[in-house]
Amino acid sequence: GFLFGYDIGATSYVVSYLATLSSSSSLSSSLSLMDAPFKTGWIVSSPSFGALLGTIILMNGGGIITKFKFKFKPIGRRTELRYAGIFYFLGGLLEFLSSSSSSLDVFCNLPIIILSLGRWIYGIGIGFAMHGGPTYLAEIAPSTIRGQLVGGKEIAIVIGILIGYSIGIDSSFSSPSSSSWAYVYAATLFGSVLMIGLSYIIPESPRWLAKYDILMKIRKETIKAAQKQNNKNSNSNSNINSTNIISVNNNNNNNSRESSQSQSLLNKKYRSSLMAGLGLVILQQITGQPSVLSYAAPILSKVPGLSSSSSIVLALFKVFATSISVLLVETRGRKTLLLCGCFLMMMSLFILTFAFQEQEEGTNNDDEDETASQPQPQLDIRSYFVIIGMFAYIAGYQIGFGPITWLMISEVYPQSIRTKAVALSVQLNFALNAIVQFIVPILQQKIGLPNLFFIFSLLSGYSIYFIYYRIIETKGLTLEEIEYQFQFQFQSQNQQQQQTDSRNNHNKTNDNEQQQQQHRGWDNNYNNEETIKLLHHVS
C-alpha cells in the first residue's frame, strides 16, 4: 500500500518537473513533457493499465511460465504479494534507468519507452498488491481487528502519497540540468526488496489452503504459529485457532469439489454479495472523487503561506481522516461509517455546487479577462466556502468509501469465488477511475462545474440508499458468518420471489376458473333458450 501511494505522490512531482524541461535540455529530449499532453497522460495512466493487466492474470487463477508456455494455476496470497514486490522492483529499476539512457535517445525515443515500460510493470505490481493485500489480511485476521488491519492499508497509501509529495519541496531534486528526479523512483527499490523478503516469513493464508484441501499444510502453519507463543494462555488460544481453522477446512472441502458452474461468478447464489461489492466500487468512483481532488490543490495554493505546500496539506488531512475511520471501524461498524461518509460527501457537494455557481457568476460579471476558459477563483468569501466544501468532501471520502470499500470487497465474497471476485473488483476500480478522469473534463466543458458537482451530489444521495438497503453490517463476524448472511439474504429474496410467483399463479388460476364458470353459464343459458324454443315449436 505504501509503495502504491508513494508512486502517486512521486509521479505528481516528476511530471511537473519534466513539464518544465524543453526539448533542448541536457536531458533526453524524449523525456520532456513540455506542451506534450499525450505523453503526460500516458506516463500518468500507465500504472492503471498495468494494474488491469495484473488483475486479469489473477482472475484466471495466476499465471506461471512452465517449459516456455504460459499456464494458469492457483497461487496463494503470499505468492501474490511476493510477485507484487518483484514487479515493484523491476518497474522502479526501469524508471530509474530511463534517465541514464539519454545517450541512446537517437534510437526511437528509447528513454521515454523505458520509462513507460517501467510504469506498466510497476502497475502490474500494484494490481497484485491491491488484490492480494486486503484479501490476505481479511483471511488471517481475527474478526475483532480485521477492519483495522485492512483499513491500515489505506493509511499506508495516504502516507505514501504524503512522502511522495514531500519530495517535491526538496530543491536538491529540482536542478534544471540533472537527472536526480529519477532517484525519486529509485527509492521504491528498497521497499520492494523488503516486501519480497517479508513474503518468505509470513505464513500462507489458512483459508486459501483450506480451499485447496491442503490439510497437512494447514496443521503445519497453525502449529508453527502456536509454537511462537510464550505462555500457556497464548498456546491454548493458538490451539483453539488451529481447531477453528481446520474446521474451516472441513466446511470448505465441499466447496473445493464443486463444479465449475457453481464456482462461476454468474451463479445466482452469489448475486447478493457481488451486488454489494461491485456496487460499492462503482459508487466510489462515480461520486466525483478524482474531479474534486483535482481542484483542491490549485485552490489551496491561493491561500497565503500554502502556495508551495498545498498538496502536503491535503495529504496530511487525508492521513488524519483515514486514521479516524480505522479507529472507529470496529466500534461503529462499516455500514455506519459508509453512511456518514456519503452524507458528508453529499452535503459538501451541495456547498461546492452553490459556491462555484456564485463564483462563475461573479467571474462573468466582474472579470474582464476573457482568456481563461475556466473560472479562476479569488481568495474571497466564496473561495473559503469552496475550501470548506473540499475539506468536508475529502473527510467524507476518507471516512467512508476510501478505506471501507477495500475492506468490504475483502469480506463480502464467498471463499469459492473470492479470488475472481476481488480481481474483478480491482479491475473495475482502475477502469472506472480512468474513465471518470477522462470524461469529467469533457462534462465540465459541456455542462459546467456547478452542474457536474450537483450530479455528483445526487449520486452520493443514491449511495446512501444503496448502502442502507444492500449492505449488511460485517463488524465482528467471521468470513464464514458473512457468507451465511448473504446466503440467507439470497434465500429470503428467493422465497419472496416464489411467494410472489405463486400468488400471481393463484390469481391467474382463479381468473381462469371464473372465466370457465362464466363460459359454462353462457352455455347453460344458451341451452336453456334453445330448449324453450324447441318446446314452443313442439307445442
Q: If you write DSSP's letter for every residue of 30-99 in order, what string do you get?
A: GG--TT-HHHHHHHHHHHHHHHHHHHHHHHTT-EEEETTEEEE----HHHHHHHHHHHHHHHHHHHHHGG
Higher pLDDT, 486 or 201: 201
Contact between 418 and 482 (Cβ < 8 Å): no
Check whether residue 341 and residue 429 sit in a common domain: yes
How high is the pLDDT of residue 273?
86
Point out the domain boundary residue: 477, 494, 509.
477
Q: Please report, rounded to a whole number, the percentage of residues in the chain having pLDDT higher than 90.
A: 18
Categorize the per-residue pLDDT at 192 as very low, low, confident or very high, splitting at 50, 70 and 90.
very high
Cell digits of residue 186:
529509485
pLDDT band of 390, cuts 50, 70, 90: confident
Q: In total, how many domains does the chain have?
A: 2
| Res 219 pLDDT > 90 | no
pLDDT of 466: 94
Strand partners, 63: 72
Q: Mean of the pLDDT values across residues 121-140?
A: 90
Say which residues have a Cβ less than 8 Å from residue 422's Cβ, sequence separation at least 6. Answer: 131, 134, 135, 409, 410, 413
Question: Phi/psi of residue 71, each to 5°?
Answer: -120, 160
Same domain membership, residue 197 and residue 298: no
The pLDDT of residue 68 is 45
C-alpha cell at 352: 461546492
Distance in Å from the first CA to the final CA of the chain: 104
My answer on whether 141 and 272 are in the same domain is no
Has residue 420 been placed in a domain? yes
The per-residue pLDDT for 246 is 46
Give the model's pLDDT for residue 223: 64
Confidence of residue 438 (pLDDT cuts 50, 70, 90): confident
Average pLDDT over residues 415-434: 84
DSSP 437-469: HHHHHHHHHHH-HHHHHHHHHHHHHHHHHHHHH
Does the residue 495 lie in any domain?
no
Question: What pLDDT is stored for residue 196 in this prediction?
Answer: 93
Is 506 domain-assigned? no
Whether residue 133 sits in one domain with residue 52: yes
- Statement: residue 344 has pLDDT above 60: yes
pLDDT attached to residue 193: 94
pLDDT at 261: 39
Check pLDDT > 80 for residue 472.
Answer: yes
Rounded-to-integer distance, Cα 62 and Cα 49, Å: 18
In the structure, what pLDDT confidence band is assigned to residue 13 with cuts at 50, 70 and 90? confident
**Section 289-309 average pLDDT:** 63
Is there a domain that residue 298 lies in? yes
Is residue 29 a contact partner of residue 23, using CB atoms and an 8 Å limit? yes
Q: What is the mean pLDDT of the chain?
A: 75
For cell 461509517, name the residue: 337
- Min mean pLDDT across 32-36, 448-452, 476-480 is at 32-36
Q: Are residues 206 and 315 in the same domain?
A: no
* Residue 113 neighbours by CB distance under 10 Å: 16
Backbone dihedral angles phi then psi of residue 421, each to the nearest 5 degrees: -70, -45
Q: What is the mean pLDDT of residues 263-286?
A: 84
For residues 45 and 147, membership in a common domain is answered with: yes
Q: Does residue 30 sit in the same domain as residue 139? A: yes
pTM for this predicted structure: 0.73
Q: Give the CA distances from residue 509 to residues 105, 279, 534, in Å, rounded to whole numbers and listed in that order.
A: 81, 39, 37
280 and 182 both lie in a single domain:
no
Degrees, nearest 5: CA angle 119-40-359: 125
Cβ contacts of residue 397 below 8 Å, gap of 6+?
289, 341, 345
What is the rounded average pLDDT of the residues 128-136? 88
Alpha-carbon distance 380 to 362, whole Å? Answer: 11
Residue 511 lies in a domain: no
Say if residue 322 is in the same domain as residue 439: yes
Secondary structure class of 63 (helix, strand, coil): strand
Examine the domain organization and report whether 205 and 129 are in the same domain.
Answer: yes
**275 lies in the same domain as 199:** no
**What confidence score (pLDDT) does residue 515 get?**
61
Q: Which domain holds residue 386?
A: 266-477
In a domain, 258, yes or no: no
Question: pLDDT > 70: what percent of the chain?
Answer: 62
Identify the pLDDT of residue 475.
Answer: 87
* Least confident piece of the model among 7-11, 48-52, 67-71: 67-71
| CATH number, domain containing residue 142 | 1.20.1250.20
Are residues 317 and 205 part of one domain?
Answer: no
pLDDT category, 226, cuts 50, 70, 90? Answer: low
* C-alpha closest to that of 99 among 205, 214, 198, 21: 21
User: Is 234 inside a domain boundary?
Assistant: no
CA dihedral 305, 306, 309, 313 (to 10 degrees): 120
* Residue 450 pLDDT greater than 50, yes or no: yes
Q: Are 246 and 219 in contact, with CB atoms under 8 Å apart? A: yes
Nearest residue to 153 (alpha-carbon basis) of 343, 342, 332, 410: 410
CA distances from 510 to 129, 154, 498, 499, 522 (A): 60, 59, 18, 16, 18
* Residue after which a domain boundary falls, among 172, 196, 212: 212
Q: Is residue 348 part of a domain?
A: yes
Task: Single out the residue in 212, 235, 250 at which a domain terminates.
Answer: 212
pLDDT of residue 18: 75
